């Protein structure tokens, strides 16, 4: 792995001005509430140094439900009152789970199907359409979209950071196109890191075991004067390959190195500035099914993000965010260099009594440079595209503190499908603190990818697959109904139901004797239910249960020549998990999770059992032993048509974290 590769220095500065209020309505300090511009609003100021013994596990259920999320309305809202199917994976959830990467942490959220394809690839989806590149799920990191326009989807092998720096992961099940734009069809995953004020001092983490051969990370945070904080970090890991279904190793070993920084300034009592960036390099192995040979994907890239926040009053604020992202990938199939520049502006104010209005605009330019070492190529090999968007949303208080109506839409223009609109209407009724009933109707779209528009697949002189100009966006109309309630003070129940109607889904057409091409000749429907129960049994014992049911069916147009594919076979009808966190005497901890996944593709259903034993002999020291996949020495979870099938192996590793 070459660490000497230079990362192009592109400086982006973002001015952001966000007005956020505390729980009692008084104005909070801008820097305390930013948390990356998309953070939980704190009602009290955090201490300057992170206390490793101060965890969300020690919060009451009232405090947990009062945590404020930004992903539903693009402004802070209490989790229990949000008019959407939202779930928060907290920093303490991640620590107690033993997860060493973001994809594995997502197993903690109900209704999220996480299928590991091999040692460095995952298929992750919400409410259907799972694949290696799930093109209807939008993923953000600190407000930066990591959705690739090449295939449509997410490269999970490069979505990483120091796990201890993650503040929380907000998971929205259901469309979020009104707030976040195209491709937020089935859900939004928003990964939010901590403000540097919360990561003062040093942190060292080391570990290793049977599959996690070695991992380590270092972070240091400090102050610059009275009003500025910073942190720097670096991490490295080396993971063993998984088992091949046909025997032997899957040749999917994985190693990567990453470094980054974050700086947060309190420019004044009402202004805050954030500047952060990351750089990474790594190697991800794979074995191709068609050629039955192994090769390595060389991955590298980085990003710079800036944000400036300002508060005008408790009912008026604005922000401006700018980021630059570069991605480089090289393997035997295709080589890609991609540069992306994104600008996002938002203004919130109250023009009339009982109205909370948010409007904004965005611009994104992305350019790729590709090469074709294999039969797959893009024509043209270089392409730039841009996207313009305007956003408008009004939250209306119909009955003070009880009944709220949210209306809004995102209007966009892109180079592939032209003008798009994504409206939504959401209603929430909160008769008292124990009950919240909400309903929503939304429209969302998935834009064509570069591959669907420009790809060429050749066998010798013959072109067998060719992209097509004029492919339309895939469309969804979603109907949702949810209910949150507390039957007991120590029990919280969250139920969400949905009915989805899909139009213009893509097919591969082979009529006319020429190359196969793409068209919008499939539609479909789905419905389901999602349940989550959080029970604080005692001050030292917590139980969590999640379950989801999904039913899908799809139809081809009569004019289609495509071979019908059972899309629902990639999605389990039933998903369930039960987790427990138990604090034992003498600072020992016991955590366990039992997960059930219904049959997927040609893989049978399976149970997965993870367990963690932890010990904190001192406030600054955290020692743990984690056993994953305890029930089976190896089992398949998901497969990709281009890769040899592999099986997830049982894993045992130890981890030490020292804060100083």
Q: What is the CATH number of the domain that holds 135?
A: 2.40.170.20
Of the candidate ranges 61-65, 170-174, 230-234, 342-346, the one whose mean pLDDT is the lowest? 61-65
pLDDT at 286: 87
Q: In the sheet where 144-145 sits, what is the strand order?
A: 85-90, 166-173, 187-193, 137-141, 144-145
Residue 480: name the closest of 467, 461, 499, 462 by CA: 499
Q: Is residue 11 part of a domain?
A: no
Residue 183: left if φ>0, alpha if ψ -120 to 50, beta else—which one? Answer: left
Confidence at 602, pLDDT banded by 50, 70, 90: confident
In three-state secondary structure terms, 179 is: helix
How many structural domains does the chain have?
Answer: 1
Q: Which pLDDT score is estimated for 49?
A: 43
Alpha helices in 26-127 (DSSP H): 30-34, 61-65, 91-97, 102-105
Question: Smallest Cα–Cα separation from 277: which of 261, 296, 265, 266?
Answer: 261
pLDDT digits (tens, 9 = 90+) for 607-655: 999 999 999 999 999 999 999 999 889 999 999 988 888 999 999 999 9
Tokens at 345, concatenated: 């502006």
Whether residue 16 has pLDDT greater than 60: no
Examine the pLDDT at 34 and tell me if it is beyond 50. no
Strand order from edge to edge, sheet including 646-649 = 243-244, 646-649, 634-635
Q: Which domain, by its residues, includes 268?
A: 30-659
How far from the centroid of its chain's Cα atoms is residue 312's Cα?
31
| Mean pLDDT of the region 481-493 | 96
Average pLDDT over residues 548-552: 97
Mean pLDDT computed over every residue of the chain: 89
Count other Cβ atoms within 10 Å, centred on residue 495.
Answer: 15
The Cβ of residue 350 has, within 10 Å, a number of other Cβ atoms equal to 14
Q: How far is CA 272 from CA 278, 310, 357, in A?
A: 21, 6, 22
In a domain, 424, yes or no: yes
Among 259, 287, 362, 281, smallest CA distance to 119 is for 287
Residue with the bigger pLDDT between 265 and 295: it is 265
pLDDT at 59: 60
Average pLDDT over residues 476-502: 97
pLDDT value of position 32: 36
Tell me the C-alpha distance between 54 and 626, whole Å: 22
| In-domain check, residue 391 | yes
pLDDT, one tens digit per residue, over 302-347 is 999 999 999 999 889 999 999 999 999 998 888 999 999 999 999 9
Supply the pTM of this predicted model: 0.91
The Cα–Cα gap between 421 and 624 comes to: 49
Do the domain assignments include residue 376?
yes
pLDDT, residue 460, reads 73
CA dist., res. 316 & res. 18, Å (int): 8
In 199-242, which ranges are E strands?
201-209, 212-224, 228-239
For 250, the 3-state DSSP assignment is: coil
658 band by pLDDT with thresholds 50, 70 and 90: very high
Asked whether residue 7 is assigned to any structural domain, the reply reads no
In a domain, 10, yes or no: no
Instruction: Write down the residue that tokens 């841009």 correspond to.
Output: 386
pLDDT at 355 > cutoff 60 = yes
Would you say residue 6 lies in a domain? no
Percent of the chain with pLDDT over 90: 75
d(CA 556, CA 520): 10
User: Which tokens sit at 569?
Assistant: 């076979």
For residue range 432-460, what is the model confidence (pLDDT) as tens digits? 989 999 999 999 999 999 999 999 888 77
Of all residues in the chain, the percent with pLDDT exceeding 70 is: 90
Q: How far is CA 2 from the centre of its chain?
A: 28
Please say if the pLDDT value at position 462 is more than 90. Answer: no
pLDDT in tens, 66-104: 788 898 988 888 998 999 999 999 999 999 999 999 999
pLDDT digits (tens, 9 = 90+) for 382-401: 999 999 999 999 999 999 99
Going by their DSSP bridges, the two strands 187-193 and 137-141 should be labelled as: parallel
Reply yes or no on whether the pLDDT at 47 is more than 50. no
Q: pLDDT digits over 185-243, tens only?
A: 999 999 999 999 999 999 999 999 999 999 999 999 999 999 999 999 999 999 999 99
417 inside domain: yes
- pLDDT, residue 291, reads 58
Compute φ and ψ for 103, nearest 5 degrees.
-55, -40
Beta bridge partners of 122: 116
């Amino acid at each position: 792995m070459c660490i000497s590769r230079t990362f192009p220095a592109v400086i982006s500065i973002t001015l952001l001005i966000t007005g956020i209020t505390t729980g009692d309505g008084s104005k909070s300090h801008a820097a305390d509430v930013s948390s990356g511009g998309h953070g939980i609003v704190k009602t009290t100021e955090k201490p300057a140094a992170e206390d490793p013994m101060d965890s969300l596990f020690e919060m009451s259920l009232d405090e947990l439900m009062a945590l404020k999320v930004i992903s539903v309305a693009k402004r802070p809202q209490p989790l229990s009152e949000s008019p959407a199917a939202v779930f928060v994976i907290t920093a303490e959830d991640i620590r107690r789970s033993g997860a060493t990467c973001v994809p594995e942490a997502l197993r903690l959220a109900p209704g999220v199907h996480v299928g590991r394809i091999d040692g460095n690839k995952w298929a992750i989806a919400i409410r259907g359409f799972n694949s290696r590149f799930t093109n209807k799920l939008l993923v953000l990191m600190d407000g930066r979209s990591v959705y690739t326009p090449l295939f449509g989807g997410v490269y999970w092998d490069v979505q990483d950071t120091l796990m201890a720096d993650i503040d929380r992961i907000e998971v929205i099940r259901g469309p979020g196109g009104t707030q976040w734009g195209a491709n937020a069809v089935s859900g939004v995953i928003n990964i939010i890191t901590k403000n540097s004020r919360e990561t003062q001092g040093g942190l060292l983490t080391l570990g290793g075991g049977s599959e996690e051969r070695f991992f380590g990370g270092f972070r240091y945070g400090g102050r610059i004067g009275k009003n500025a904080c910073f942190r720097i970090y670096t991490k490295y890991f080396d993971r063993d390959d998984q088992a091949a279904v046909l025997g032997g190793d899957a040749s999917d070993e994985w190693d990567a190195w990453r470094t980054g920084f974050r700086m947060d300034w309190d420019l004044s009592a009402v202004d805050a500035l954030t500047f952060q960036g990351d750089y990474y390099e790594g190697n991800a192995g794979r074995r191709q099914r068609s050629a039955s040979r192994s090769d390595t994907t060389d991955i590298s890239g980085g990003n710079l993000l800036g944000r400036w926040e300002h508060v005008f009053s408790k009912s008026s604020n604005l922000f401006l965010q700018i980021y630059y992202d570069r991605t480089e990938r090289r393997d035997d199939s295709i080589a890609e260099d991609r540069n992306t520049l994104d600008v996002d502006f938002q203004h919130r104010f109250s023009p009339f009594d009982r109205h909370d209005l948010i409007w904004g605009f965005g611009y994104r330019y992305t350019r790729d440079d590709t090469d074709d070492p294999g039969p797959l190529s893009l024509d043209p090999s270089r392409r730039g595209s841009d996207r313009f968007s305007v956003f408008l949303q009004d939250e209306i208080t119909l009955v003070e503190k009880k009944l709220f109506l949210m209306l809004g839409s995102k209007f966009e223009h892109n180079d592939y499908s032209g003008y798009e609109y994504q409206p939504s209407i959401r209603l929430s009724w909160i008769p008292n603190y124990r009950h919240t009933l909400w309903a929503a109707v939304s429209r969302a779209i998935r834009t064509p990818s570069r591959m669907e528009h420009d790809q060429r697949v050749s066998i010798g002189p013959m072109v067998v697959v060719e992209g097509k100009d004029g492919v339309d966006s895939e469309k969804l109309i979603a109907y949702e109904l949810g209910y949150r309630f507390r039957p007991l003070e120590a029990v919280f129940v969250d139920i969400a139901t949905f009915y989805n109607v899909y139009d213009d889904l893509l097919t591969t057409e082979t009529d006319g004797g020429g190359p196969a091409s793409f068209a919008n000749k499939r539609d479909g429907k789905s419905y389901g239910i999602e349940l989550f129960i959080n029970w604080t049994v005692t001050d030292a014992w917590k139980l969590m249960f999640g379950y989801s049911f999904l039913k899908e069916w799809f139809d081809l147009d009569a004019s289609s020549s495509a071979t019908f594919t059972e899309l629902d076979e990639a999605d389990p009808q039933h998903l369930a998990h039960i987790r427990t966190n138990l604090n034992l005497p003498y600072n020992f901890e016991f955590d366990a999770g039992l997960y059930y996944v219904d049959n997927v593709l040609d893989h049978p259903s399976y149970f997965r059992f993870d367990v963690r034993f932890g010990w904190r002999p001192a406030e600054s020291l955290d020692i743990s032993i984690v056993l994953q996949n305890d029930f089976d020495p190896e089992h398949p979870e998901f497969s990709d048509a281009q890769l040899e099938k592999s099986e997830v192996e049982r894993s045992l590793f130890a981890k030490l974290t020292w804060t100083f």
